[in-house]
Amino acid sequence: MFRYLAEAGLNHYLARLPVRAELKGKKSIQICGELGKEELDFGTLQEPPHKIFVNWPSTPDGVLEFTKKYGLLDPAGRYCNWEPGDPRGTFSFKVASWVEQQKDFRQHWDWNADGGGWDVVRHDLWSELSSSEVGNAPELCHPGVELDYISELGPKPYILLAAQTLWQYLCTLLLFHSVGDLRTCLNPDCPAPRFIARRKGQVYCSSDCAALLAKRRWWAKHGEEWRKARNRKRLRGGNR
């Protein structure tokens, strides 16, 4: 029996953008709106989509801005087959549900640093990426990631996957990473701390954070000596 590995890729996601989205409720607990015809190709983004999502502000205003800019997460696949004119184009979801999805995603990201934890994540994502019937409603189905293409030629098979929802797309992108790829910047004040490592020993998301922490370490070690030297210089200048 011959054993060989397959290569896999993921189609860029096309998000249906809303023509209207707004916060509702006395404490801005819901986001309501209507989907439009305009689509966003996630392959055109300058940053990796899963890095954008994991670092996005989880305030009500932040969730609203994400929805306007990138579309619905739609974890249950309720809107994935929406067509113009379909009444399901009118959507509503709780801000707290979006925040909870992001919280889980961040935990998945952080567990990538540990091999055992990453195995748990990949197992947990199985239910998110597989199709299943909705309980007590067999006519409905939670859509799963689909097999879009299998190559017929070449030394090894190549399979191309297609995610049905933005949430599935983001989760699938996680699975293409090896253990240790997904990290958190050591700068405690970094505004977007979770990053994708480009090299083995990388602990900062950017050169800016690395330089800032190096400067802080220098001041912690030499700052008092530098201030004393500056004061002595001022005193000498004032005695002339």
Answer yes or no: is 234 within a domain. Answer: no
Quote the number of domains for the chain. 1
Answer yes or no: is 228 within a domain. Answer: no
Instruction: Please state, in angstroms and as integers, the Cα–Cα distance from residue 94 to each residue in 67, 74, 91, 105, 189, following that order.
Output: 12, 12, 11, 17, 29
| Average pLDDT over every residue of 208-231 | 62
Q: What is the pLDDT of residues 112-122, one digit of tens each?
A: 988 888 999 99
Q: What is the pLDDT of residues 35-71, one digit of tens each?
A: 998 999 999 999 999 999 999 999 999 999 999 999 9
pTM for this prediction: 0.84
**Kind plus residue range of the DSSP H or E element containing 90:** strand 90-94
Q: CA-CA distance, 1 to 39, in Å (whole number)?
A: 46
Answer yes or no: is 196 within a domain. Answer: no
Answer yes or no: is 171 within a domain. Answer: yes
Region of 43 (left: φ > 0; alpha: ψ -120 to 50; beta: rest) is alpha
pLDDT reading at 218 higher than 50: no
Q: CA-CA distance, 71 to 67, in Å (whole number)?
A: 5
Asked if residues 167 and 104 have their Cβ atoms less than 8 Å apart, the reply is no
Residues of the chain with pLDDT > 70, as a percent, come to: 80
Answer yes or no: is 179 within a domain. Answer: yes
Answer yes or no: is 202 within a domain. Answer: no
Q: What pLDDT score does 138 carry?
A: 54
Instruction: Please state, in angstroms and as integers, the Cα–Cα distance from residue 66 to each residue in 7, 29, 162, 189, 217, following that order.
Output: 32, 15, 22, 22, 36
Q: What is the pLDDT of residues 153-196, one digit of tens each?
A: 777 888 999 999 999 999 999 999 999 999 999 999 999 999 99
Work out the pLDDT band at 1, boundaries 50, 70, 90: very low
- Chain centroid, CA 95 distance in Å: 17
Answer yes or no: is 111 within a domain. Answer: yes
Structural domain boundaries enclosing 116: 7-185
